[in-house]
Amino acid sequence: MPLLPNDSSTVFEADERGLVIAAETEMALERPMRRLADVYGDMVRIGPPKVRYRYGNRIEQPIMGLRVLCAPQVYAAVREDLRLRRATIMDAEVNRQFGIVRAAAPLASLIGYPDRIAALSGGRGQLVMWLSHYEQLDHPPPAGVAA
């Protein structure tokens, strides 16, 4: 644990299965995962990210705000990909120099999105993502997800 970055974007918790890393976004997971891989190499196994839902009187899902800056040639593909992920487009603009899309979407639909933006944009797109708010979930999340 002392080897891991100490900042407000991640929380670390050791349990009987190993180390759980809680972070606001997948991008916040990159630095501690890279550090673990550098130190432990092939001995470390990193599982896929999971969404943490909020349980109380009702089940709530995290809604992420995001902004994508991309080349105008991939703007339409970025918008379509967000639409398929059930994103609500708040603002979008394209001109000869760049395209930019501001949106909000359930975190569950954005798992893997940093890699998708890199693939769509040839590694040149810029993604910023943050926790916007929680929203009531109408259907229970899949079994086995974090609470």
Full set of structural domains in the chain with CATH: 1-49 (no CATH), 59-136 (3.30.70.240)
Average pLDDT, the chain: 89
Please name which of 130, 112, 141 lies closest in space to residue 54, comparing C-alpha atoms. 141
DSSP character for 142? P
Tell me: the pLDDT tens digits for 68-107? 999 999 999 999 999 999 999 999 999 999 999 999 999 9
**Residue 146: is its pLDDT beyond 70?**
no
pTM for the full model? 0.81
Higher-scoring residue by pLDDT: 146, 83 = 83
**Residue 147: is its pLDDT beyond 60?**
no
What is the b/e burial string over 63-80, where b = at least 16 CB atoms within 10 angstroms of the residue's CB? bbebebbbbeebbeebbe
Residue 80 structure tokens: 């379509």
Please name which of 110, 60, 50, 48 lies closest in space to residue 84, comparing C-alpha atoms. 110
Q: What percent of the chain has pLDDT over 70?
A: 96
Write down the residue that tokens 């501001």 correspond to. 102
CA 146 to chain centroid, in Å, comes to: 15
DSSP bridge partners of 69: 100, 126
DSSP string, 40-78: HGGG---PPP-PBPEESSSEEEEEEEEEEEE-GGGHHHH
Please name which of 52, 48, 50, 49 lies closest in space to residue 60, comparing C-alpha atoms. 52
The pLDDT, as a whole number, for residue 90 is 97
Higher-scoring residue by pLDDT: 141, 37 = 37
Higher-scoring residue by pLDDT: 11, 7 = 11
